[in-house]
Amino acid sequence: MDFKFSEEHEEFRKKVREFGKKEFTKQRIRDSDINEKYPDELRELTYKNGLVSYDDPWKVLISIEELCSIDPGLGISVTIPYFGAEVIMLFGSDHLKEKYLSRINSGKAIMGLAVTEPSGGSDVAGASTRAEKKDGHYVVNGSKMFISNGNLADFFITLVRTSSKEAKRHHGLSVLVVDTNSKGFSANKLTGKLGVRSTTTSEILFENLEVPEENLVGEEGKGFYYIMTFFNISRIFVAAQGIGVAQGAFDRAMDLVKSRGEEYSSREEVQFALAEMATRIKATRLMTYEAASHLFSYEPIPSLTSMAKQYAGETAVFVTEKALEIAGIDGIDSDLERFFRDAKILEIWEGTSEIEKLIIARNMLKGEKP
């Protein structure tokens, strides 16, 4: 057993950290949060500095972790433009890889994943956006909800229903790459989020939107499987967001405790809170890293991935709440209050905590050993 990152990865972590400390300025953080403004210039900077590189998924994980610990909103904003890329990598044709992934790899495009619908967040198989084949095109009609990068993305990995057999819910779904400059595409930015306010969340609509046949990812009818496979990857990165949020909040709470002097820091209530926070963070890290090590060597263990994701979300919420309790009234206008608002989404997106628990149990009931 070996619980250490390689020297290269440690170096990389240091580099990310330095970048974040320098570029995530107070001004940028506040401006993005208060005005719900996407930090596009920062995204470019992050890309140019090579902090999001698909050559090595460990580096992506490290970037997410470190940047989120400096500011979750900005951290997520600059690492989310590639959201969904793995679907093309794993299942897309060479044509799609070249046409779309090359733009992503050069940092020139923003993409997104359009799966969730207004009628059901967790019920992926219930998707009702329709795509009908007609003259070498798919004609897409329907809407998607809570779509990250909704008003920013150049194209979306989109889950659509290509078969009318409602009985086979899972088997009637396919994945298309939809250009947002196509006729019939529109997006309404949803404002007034609790947290991660610098990310852009939208409702997107498809109205008789035509997609060329070659934009089908993989095979027709396998969309549900592709998306589920993707979630088993993206959940690792959400867990990394959780590590970052929790660690960032913990570090700030620790500083606060120290700044209040010996009499305060020696109080057992305070020490208990710190110990409980730190223990949860440690457990989150380990579960995430183990899940990642299986995933990144192409042997994912879905129940373990879900454990990491669920526990990370819960930990981010737990730690930020505890940190604010320590802060008291002084926290009402502080970094910590932003961390608190940013944390909650981690229990909701990429599969709610409830869904993760069901995944864990069902896989284990089938004999999987996490």
Partner 1 sequence: MSSEITEILRTSVMEFVNKNVPSGENGLEKSGITPDLRKKLGEQGFLNLKLPAEAGGTGMDAESYIAVLEEFAKAEPSIAMEMFFLNSVAGRVLSHFEDGIELLKRAGRGEISFMTAIPSEFSRISSHSTETTITSDVPIAAGGSSDFLLMTDQSGRTLLVKDKINVRKIQKPLGFRAITWGGVETKNSQYEDLGKGKLEEIFLKQVNLEITAMALGIAEGAIEKTLEYTKVRKVFNTPLKDFGPVAAAVTNMKGEIDLVKHSLDSERREENSEVLRHASLELALNSARTSVQYHGGYGYFESFGIEKFYRDAMAMKMIFGGLKPRELLYRKIYGSDSGRI
* 59 Cβ contact partners less than 8 Å away, ≥ 6 residues apart: 9, 12, 51, 52, 53
HSE (side-chain half, CA atoms, 13 Å) at 264: 12
Position 91 contacts partner 1 (CB under 8 A): no
- The helix/strand/coil state of 206 is strand
User: Shortest gap between Cβ of 235 and partner 1 (angstroms)?
Assistant: 17
Rounded distance between C-alpha atoms, residue 241 and residue 287, angstroms: 14
The answer to whether residue 14 forms part of the interface with a copy of itself (CB under 8 A) is: no
Choice from 195, 242, 300, 302 touching partner 1 (CB under 8 A): 195
Which residues have a Cβ under 8 Å from the Cβ of 236 and sit 6 or more positions away?
A: 61, 288, 291, 292, 295, 305, 308, 309
Distance CA 360, CA 370 (A): 9
269 binds, among partner 1, a copy of itself, none (CB under 5 to 8 A by kind): partner 1
Does residue number 274 form part of the binding site for partner 1 (CB under 8 A)? no
Question: Segment 282-311, which members bind a copy of itself (CB under 8 A)?
Answer: 282-283, 286-287, 289-290, 293, 303-304, 307, 310-311
User: Under a CB-based contact definition with an 8 Å cutoff, are residues 12 and 50 in contact?
Assistant: no
Query: What does 260 bind: a copy of itself, partner 1, none (CB cut-off 5 to 8 Å by kind)?
Result: partner 1
Q: Roughly how many angstroms between the first and final C-alpha of the chain, as a whole number?
A: 17
> Which of 30, 165, 260, 362 forms a contact with a copy of itself (CB under 8 A)?
362
Q: Report the C-alpha gap between 360 and 330 in whole angstroms.
A: 39
Return d(Cα 179, Cα 181) in angstroms, integer.
5
Phi, psi of 2 (to 5 degrees): -150, 120
Contacting a copy of itself (CB under 8 A), which of 135, 268, 299, 333? 268
Among 4, 26, 48, 183, binds a copy of itself (CB under 8 A): 4
What's the distance, CA 43 to chain centroid? 15
Position 340 contacts partner 1 (CB under 8 A):
yes
Q: How far apart are CA 322 and CA 257, in angstroms?
A: 12
Residue 65, Cβ density class (10 Å: 0-12 exposed, 13-18 middle, ≥19 buried)? buried
Smaller CB separation from partner 1, 161 or 193: 193
Residue 275, token pair as written in the block: 């110990």
Residue 221 binds a copy of itself, judged by CB under 8 A: no
Least distance between partner 1 and beta carbon 81 (Å): 20
How far is residue 136's CA from residue 45's CA, in Å, rounded to a whole number?
40
Annotate each residue in 308-327 with x if it binds a copy of itself (CB under 8 A) or - if it does not, as one string: --xx----------------
The two most distant CA atoms of the chain are separated, in Å, by: 76
Q: Answer yes or no whether residue 361 interacts with a copy of itself by CB under 8 A.
A: yes
Per rule CB under 8 A, is residue 152 in the interface with partner 1?
no
Binding mask 32-61 for partner 1 (x = CB under 8 A): -xx---------------------------
What is the binding site for partner 1 (CB under 8 A)? 33-34, 116, 119-123, 126, 145-146, 190, 192-195, 260, 264, 267-269, 272, 317, 321, 324-325, 327-333, 337, 340-341, 344-345, 347-349, 352-354, 357
What is the binding site for a copy of itself (CB under 8 A)? 1-5, 254, 257-258, 265, 268, 270-272, 274-276, 278-279, 282-283, 286-287, 289-290, 293, 303-304, 307, 310-311, 354, 356-358, 360-362, 364-365, 370
